[in-house]
Amino acid sequence: MKNKLFKGPVATADPTRWAERYADYLYSFALVRLDDEEQARDLVQETFLAALEKLGEFRGASSERTWLTAILKFKVIDVYRKRNSGLATVRMDMGAGDEFFEADNGHWKEEFSPRPLGVEHGDPTLRRELAAVLQRCLQKLPALWRSIFALKHLDEETTEAICHELKVTRANFWVIIHRAKLNLRACLEREGL
């Protein structure tokens, strides 16, 4: 059978092997973003169910894993949206901490730029320790800040998409990212990194 859009055979997904092939990866993906084991497990199950419902739409333009991850990503965004609904809109000026960042682009000023952590090319054990410390520090952020930071820096979403999905203004977005970076830096430094 030929696919009209991709001019090749229609890809077939194999739902009977999804749990064995992708459950651990999808669970880790959700857990890093939500830090809630039960909710991560639930979202993986919901992802599999949603994929089964949309199985006829899978055309093989991406791998099964990529397709399932995209479905899960939308489910995580829904969780972020629910967690953050009803929260007051953040209105604050940059205030304390503006000396760390360039005014025109929000990047660290050279003299305040964080120093390398020493695990960029190093030992996998050190990378796991860094990931654990970073996860603890992320959990100390307010829910909205954590959601925005995760979408921007873990999922590499665009600013526009994040503002639209979480219903924050661009100005609020940049203030939140600014504050989250400062808080994460302080936390990592307290942890000895």
Please report the pLDDT score of residue 135 as a whole number.
85
Please report the pLDDT score of residue 98 as a whole number.
59
Please report the pLDDT score of residue 94 as a whole number.
42
Around Cβ 122, how many Cβ atoms within 10 Å? Answer: 11
Mean pLDDT over residues 83-96, rounded?
Answer: 51
Please report the pLDDT score of residue 83 as a whole number.
78
Residue with more model confidence, 163 or 98:
163
Which CATH entry fits the domain spanning 98-190: 1.10.1200.10, 3.40.50.10310, 3.30.429.10, 1.10.10.10?
Answer: 1.10.10.10
**Model confidence band, residue 40 (pLDDT cutoffs 50, 70, 90):** very high
Burial class (CB in 10 A: 0-12, 13-18, 19+), 25: middle
Residue with more model confidence, 11 or 71:
71
**Model confidence band, residue 50 (pLDDT cutoffs 50, 70, 90):** very high
- Residue pair 77/31 in contact (Cβ under 8 Å)? The answer is no
Sequence-distant (≥ 6) Cβ neighbours of residue 137 within 8 angstroms: 183, 184, 187, 188, 191
Please report the pLDDT score of residue 75 as a whole number.
92
- Residue pair 72/43 in contact (Cβ under 8 Å)? The answer is yes
Average pLDDT for the chain: 80
% pLDDT > 90, the chain: 27
Does the structure show a pLDDT above 90 at 47? yes
Sequence-distant (≥ 6) Cβ neighbours of residue 58 within 8 angstroms: 11, 13, 51, 64, 67
Q: Which CA distances in Å does 4 have to 7, 51, 65, 67?
A: 5, 21, 23, 19
Please report the pLDDT score of residue 159 as a whole number.
92
Q: Whose structure tokens read 């609020």?
A: 172
Give the start-to-end residue ranges of the domains of the chain: 2-84, 98-190
Please report the pLDDT score of residue 68 as a whole number.
94
Residue with more model confidence, 125 or 72:
72
Residue 6: both structure tokens together: 């991709």
Residue with more model confidence, 135 or 25:
25
Q: Which CA distances in Å does 159 have to 16, 87, 97, 138, 193?
A: 37, 19, 21, 19, 28
pLDDT in tens, 94-152: 444 556 667 666 666 777 766 665 555 566 777 788 888 888 898 888 888 988 998 99
Distance of alpha carbon 172 from its chain centroid, rounded? 18
Q: Under CATH, what is the fold of the domain 2-84?
A: Rna Polymerase Sigma Factor; Chain: A (1.10.1740)
